[in-house]
Structure 1
Amino acid sequence: MKLEDEIKLGESKVLEFKQKLPNNQSIAKSIIAFSNTAGGKLIIGVDDNRNIVGIEGDIFDIQDKISSILYESCYPNIIPEIYTKNIEGLIILVIEVHKGNLVPYYLKSQGKNNGTYIRLGATNRKASFENIIELERQRRNITFDEDINYDYELDTLNLEPLKKVFNKFKKELTEEKLITLKLIKVENGNKYPTNGLLIILGILENVSTKCSRFKGNTMEIFLDKKEYSEDLFTQLESIEIFIKNHLNLRGEIKGLQRIDTYEIPEVAIRETLINAVVHRDYTNLGRDIKVAIYDNKIEIVSPGGLPNGLTNEDIFTGRSEVRNRVVARVFKELNYLV
């Protein structure tokens, strides 16, 4: 997409405008936030209304000043691409960075805990402790569900629900299989459960689903409400039953038989539910999956934004990221995923 067209779309996760050169810390925060999230462009010479106003002064001096600011302010070092663009006789300055490999990046003067910033929508936000931990996982190229959880002892966990599902598909859940699927990890000769195992067993506090049936097309009056917090496979079965109990059936005569079908195809319900469970953000401890059934629609909300700096534009180009590799691997092993 041409830069002019990007500007017309307005500020976003990967685009920020400044009418004139901002102060040192403001530049550094924006570039740090882009580097920690999905990369992006800071464009100087565009106002908040997307009007190109251009910049004044010696371009080479401005570029040198920006390079010095980032070198002195950011850690680890960030090396952006700084260039100008002439649009209808007006010069704008573009500072472009890609998502970094050494996350988290932060302001040297504030330290990692207080000086790490991420991009949330079209704004820069100070990263929480959980955000920083997630960035450090990205640096190590592991997902949350691949991480060892030292708060639980493997011997105290009941693996029967998971073994039952494996047996259903005529597969055996051996210790070797648990290690291969990264449900457990061996460290210094000791075996530990990963967050993935605890998620699948429904042990972590936020691994739950709330289902509601509302009267009409709003949330003002609910007719039924259930909450499920068992292992993920049991949850899926319970949610599917809840949904089907509140859907209308359509009867169709074919030959001598009457065939009943739900008003929403079962394959669509199944696909959406599995995606919600497999791809949700399990680091978001304050939220759970919500299923809302209205007279005219079903809404299934899974917590979390796009994973690992993925953008809407990336999705349209066919790029995808697996947020929960362990959970996805187990679901694929059991033929829940194609």
Structure 2
Amino acid sequence: MGFNEWLRTAMNKSDLYARIAGGEDSFTEFKRDVSQRSDFASEMIAFANMEGGSILIGVDDDGGIVGVAEPQRVEEAVVNIARHNCVPPLNPTIEPIQDDEGNTVIVVEVPRRMHAPHENNSGQCYIRVGSTKRLCTPQERARLLQAASPMHIDEIPIDRTSQADLDLDAFGVYYQRIYEQPLDEADVPLTPMLENMRFLVTDFRGESRLSLAGLVLFGQRSQDLLTHAYISAVRWEGMEAGEMIIDRQDMTGRLPQQIEQAEAFVLRNTRLSTKIEGARQEDRREYPRAAVREAVVNAVMHRDYGLDGAQILLYIFDDRLEIRSPGTLPNSVTLDNIRTHYSKPRNDTIARVLLNLGYVNRLGSGVPRMIRLMREHSGREPDFELGSAQFLVRLWSG
């Protein structure tokens, strides 16, 4: 159960015992007391900057309940720390719960931030990683700021670009598909049209630039300016990376071209079996073509383009296919709810274009469809794994 789901359940003694039995994790921290104000503030900040979490005061690191001697004083201390040691101030929910021995544990529930990332009075910004907190890197802090902004990262202006860097033929094909008329018959002039579509934006100097979405979707030289915006594919011999390479290819160009190249790479590096029953011949691929496309499209649509130097990795092994996408899960998606959760995409403009081009059936439906296709094909659902700056999708051979 994710933290947000847990918050919706009233806390009682049984819940407290279950929470302690689960140990410290991404959503839970044990504290014996609040004597170290700066440390306690950093714990709350770390939870707020990620998905939220709870701090159980009166519990040792090993899960032993020691309780607090003066619950009212502890609650007041937590409120003061949240107000005066966190910037902007936090507003946690505080609840005392007694165990069977009469010991009082103070449960501090820290909600996920709603706006800019939180920091301490020294300007330090923390995040929660597993069962520990750590300082943000400059790149992580930038992503937190971006996530707090109403502007999506795919709308940022790309330096050294202009409208002249747009591939008008590619954009014309897109326009024809959407509006069912040639681009040269459009009623709206090209420049304001591109601005309305968020493919052309203004930078802080007042210069007109291609947005990140405009560059990766319709740019003439995407990889010259965003060197990491491509897919690196390898067909390995055996079960692990590092063995002999059977085939490899870097998928470059515009995102639709990358998707098509990636799908072709998988088709030529995976098995096709033929089954004949009477006069009927049935071809069966090692992986459902539609599931592969869903995995690739989700990777290019949701990846974090702000992670410099990190490309999408597509690995094929003897028993599985893996796609590693830079970045964590977008918005409120977690590993707990990814199979059913529908959320606003990280790259809204890119997602909209891929939907209009037919690469996406319905925004938010990709993962559930991928799961269904793989279950029907091989009886085994995909694996989803989240690293510190990478999301992995694993499809098993069938």
| Structure 2: distance between partners of 1:189 and 1:328 | 27
- How far, CA to CA, are the matches of 1:206 and 1:255 in structure 2? 50
Cα deviation, residue 168, structure 1: 6.6
**1:72: which partner in 2?**
84
Counterpart pick for 2:259 among 225, 229, 236 = 236
Distance 1:87 1:287 in 2: 48
For residue 198 of structure 2, what is the amino acid of its counterpart?
A: K
2:48 alignment counterpart: 35
After superposition, what is the alpha-carbon deviation per residue over 1:21-75, rounded to whole angstroms, capped at 9, x for unaligned? 35111111111122222221111223333x2413232111111122222322111
Query: Does the Cα contact within 8 Å between 2:156 and 2:211 map onto a contact in 1?
Result: yes
Report how far residue 196 of structure 1 moved.
1.6
Matches within 5 A, 1:62-101: 62-89=74-101, 90-101=103-114
Q: 1:222 aligns with which of 230, 238, 245?
A: 245
**Contact 1:148–1:195 (CA under 8 A) maintained in structure 2:** yes
Higher relative contact order (CA 8 A, sep 6+): 1
CA 216–96 in structure 1, closer or farther in 2 if over 3 Å, else same: same
Which residue, out of 41, 57, 63, partners 1:44?
57
Cross-structure match for 1:15? 28
Range with bigger deviation, 17-26 or 30-39: 17-26
Q: Relative to structure 2, which stretch is displaced further, 270-279 or 66-75?
A: 66-75
In structure 2, which of residues 153, 156, 167 is the aligned counterpart of residue 158 of structure 1?
167
Task: Confirm whether residue 301 of structure 1 aligns to residue 313 of structure 2.
Answer: no
Q: 1:144 aligns with which of 125, 128, 153?
A: 153
Aligned residue type for 2:96 = T
| CA positional deviation for 1:162 | 4.2
User: 1:293 offset after TM fit, Å?
Assistant: 1.0
Deviates more, 1:204-213 or 1:78-87: 78-87
Once the two structures are superposed, the pairs formed by residues 312-331 of structure 1 within 5 Å of their partners are 312-315=335-338, 318-331=341-354
TM-score w.r.t. the length of structure 2 is 0.75
SS in 2 for 1:307: coil
The Cα offsets for residues 153-189 of structure 1, whole Å up to 9 and x where unpaired, read as 2323434444445557756567355334322235798
Shift in CA distance, 276/15, structure 1 to aligned 2, threshold 3 Å: same
Aligned to 1:185: 201
Q: C-alpha offsets along residues 247-303 of structure 1, whole Å, 9 cap, x if unaligned? A: 111113366564433121111111111111111111111321111111111111112
**Which residue number in structure 1 is paired with residue 368 of structure 2?**
none
Count of paired positions: 333
One of 283, 286, 294 as aligned partner of 2:306: 283
Shift in CA distance, 121/281, structure 1 to aligned 2, threshold 3 Å:
farther
* Counterpart residue identity of residue 217, structure 1: M
Structure-to-structure mapping, 1:249-264, within 5 angstroms: 249-253=272-276, 256=279, 258-264=281-287
- Equivalent residue runs for 1:96-135 within 5 Å: 96-108=109-121, 110-111=122-123, 115-135=124-144
Secondary structure of the structure 1 residue equivalent to 2:292: helix
Deviation at 1:141, TM superposition (A): 2.1
**1:211 maps to which of 210, 217, 233:** 233
1:54 to 66, 81, 106: 66
2:259 aligned counterpart, secondary structure: helix
Q: Distance in 1 between matches of 2:286 and 2:198?
A: 39
Residues 9, 161 of structure 1: CA spacing in aligned structure 2 closer, same or farther, 3 A cutoff? farther
In the TM superposition, residue 140 of structure 1 has moved relative to its aligned partner by 2.5
Asked whether the equivalents of residues 181 and 329 of structure 1 are also in contact (C-alpha less than 8 Å), the reply is no
Say which is worse superposed, 263-272 or 192-201, in terms of deviation: 192-201
Cα distance in 2, alignment partners of residues 279 and 329 from structure 1: 12
Unpaired stretches in structure 2, ≥5 consecutive residues: 1-5, 7-14, 362-398
CA distance in 1, matches of 2:287, 2:181: 32
- Of residues 298-307 and 323-332 in structure 1, the stretch that sits farther from structure 2 once superposed is 298-307
